[in-house]
Amino acid sequence: MRPLTYYVGSSLDGFIAGPGGEIEHYPFGEDHLAQVVEDHPEVLPGHVRRAVGADDRPNVRFDTVVMGWDTYRPALEAGIGSPYPHLRQVVASRTRTPSDPAVEHTADALRTVRELKEQDGAGLYLAGGGRLAASLADEIDELVVKVYPVLQGQGVPAFGGPFHPRAFTLTGSRAFSSGAVVLSYVRRR
């Protein structure tokens, strides 16, 4: 079965973006970028891969990205209809449908993720956001959390759902010059 990995950046107080979707305040150093390019180049959108010279890097862990509309929208507003051309792209939304033929749509993210997990292939990258992650929490097998040394006070929570504890086991940690720490976890079953 293909694992679903929620690969996400977060403030110290658990927000993945500001109230208006802001992420510019998260520090991201060269050593952190080098780690992403080496270990997870497929999580970089296509235009970013080209900009950092990683366009020719093969996908390491994932062949599919699942994202909510609010995660997809910034690319769309920048004129990029297919932000992850190196991956199979699925946008989950009950109210909007992507118009780019390279991007699949689902109104039922849970059903779609369960079907994707049963198919052959590499891992599934959950790109967010918080409400989508909460709706898929029972399907998340791994977490890769980039914790940035920032307190926000409010914003988009990493998991925007009801109280329902789920246990994970730490499998790795790495600190960067910016003060960010990347923590990796697997689901305790």
Does this model's pTM top 0.75? My answer is yes
How many Cα atoms within 13 Å fall on the side-chain side of residue 114?
8
pLDDT tens per residue across span 115-149: 999 999 999 999 978 999 999 999 999 999 999 99
- Count other Cβ atoms within 10 Å, centred on residue 76: 18
Report how far residue 82's alpha carbon sits from residue 86's, in angstroms, rounded to the nearest whole number.
9
Q: Collapsing DSSP states into helix, strand and coil, what is residue 4?
A: strand
Burial readout 30-39 (b: 16 or more C-beta within 10 A, e: otherwise):
eebeebbbee
Q: Are strands 62-68 and 88-92 parallel, antiparallel or unpaired?
A: parallel
pLDDT in tens, the chain (189 residues): 999 999 999 999 999 999 998 999 999 999 999 999 999 999 999 999 999 999 999 999 999 999 999 999 999 999 999 999 999 999 999 999 999 999 999 999 999 999 999 999 999 999 978 999 999 999 999 999 999 999 999 999 999 888 999 999 999 999 999 999 999 999 998
Q: CA-CA-CA-CA torsion for 138, 171, 146, 56, nearest 10 degrees?
A: -100
- Count other Cβ atoms within 10 Å, centred on residue 113: 25
